[in-house]
Amino acid sequence: MNKIRISAVAYTNTKPFIYGINHSAVSDQIELSLDIPSDCAAKLINGTVDVGLIPVAAIPHVPGANIISDYCIGSVGAVNSVFIFSSVPAAEIKTLRLDSHSRTSNNLARVLLKFHFKQEVTCTTDTDAVTDAIVLIGDRTFGKKDDYAYAYDMGEEWMKFTGLPFVYAAWVANKVIPEGFINEFNAALKNGLAARKELLKTLPANPVFDLDDYLMHKLDFELTAQKREALALFLSYIEQL
């Protein structure tokens, strides 16, 4: 059987999944690449890979997209790694610099600013632009909250807005994947999550960020019915932007 090509996010939030994959027989059946979220999506969209842990905003752009896993990158409230950092209160944000790493976080910021904070905002991808606020995600946010006058955790703000959890990334395929592999893959991911305490022992200590709290409490990895509801709602809001 040809190996299944998989792209996964290279951030800390994915390490439990990678740990589970690397400690299972699934690792012999795949070709795994670790990428930033936007590249995961691009590879799945153009067919370079068969499965990707992709930002959920990219799902409508994936030919034949189907979610194959019971697990995701999600949160129930604050996630502590997906932010709008701002020099002014949310009600005064007029300009926003987007993050090139993730379509989902950029769209979530736009949804929250328009529908939750009721702001009409001009967005830019120019990394040199001076703006009221910026979107920043992943490991690059660790320990950065105190660097800004205002830090809006988008998982927390989405919960305030909708009462629902959020899904940042899901395991999506662009073709039919054998059921036997999917079952093994899900088992590997489950085992990786169960081994988070062991994984934490292998990670370098971060003096400005609580990795234990992040992996054990802030992130919520099960793709529940409520998260699927939130995903559908989020995609419907994107269509209104």
Tokens of 220: 């919520």
**160-176: per-residue pLDDT in tens?**
999 999 999 999 999 99
**127-155: per-residue pLDDT in tens?**
999 999 999 999 999 999 999 999 999 99
pLDDT at position 1 is 57
Supply the range of the domain harboring residue 193.
4-75+166-224
CATH number (domain holding residue 121): 3.40.190.10
pLDDT at 2 over 90: no
- Is residue 208, in this structure, part of any structural domain at all? yes
**7-53: per-residue pLDDT in tens?**
999 999 999 999 999 999 999 999 999 999 999 999 999 999 999 99
pLDDT at position 122 is 98
- Is residue 157, in this structure, part of any structural domain at all? yes
Do 105 and 146 sit in the same domain of this protein? yes
Do 35 and 55 sit in the same domain of this protein? yes
Domain limit, last residue, from 162, 177, 212: 162
Split into its structural domains, the chain has a count of 2
pLDDT at position 197 is 98
Answering whether pTM is above 0.85, one says: yes
CB distance 7 to 33 below 8 Å: yes
- Is residue 232, in this structure, part of any structural domain at all? no
Do 153 and 179 sit in the same domain of this protein? no
Residue 42 CA to residue 49 CA, distance in Å, equals: 9
**77-119: per-residue pLDDT in tens?**
999 999 999 999 999 999 999 998 888 999 999 999 999 999 9
CB distance 80 to 140 below 8 Å: no
**41-86: per-residue pLDDT in tens?**
999 999 999 999 999 999 999 999 999 999 999 999 999 999 999 9
Identify the CA nearest to 134 among candidates 102, 165, 160: 102
Do 49 and 118 sit in the same domain of this protein? no
Identify the CA nearest to 73 among candidates 136, 142, 12, 6: 12
Do 50 and 99 sit in the same domain of this protein? no
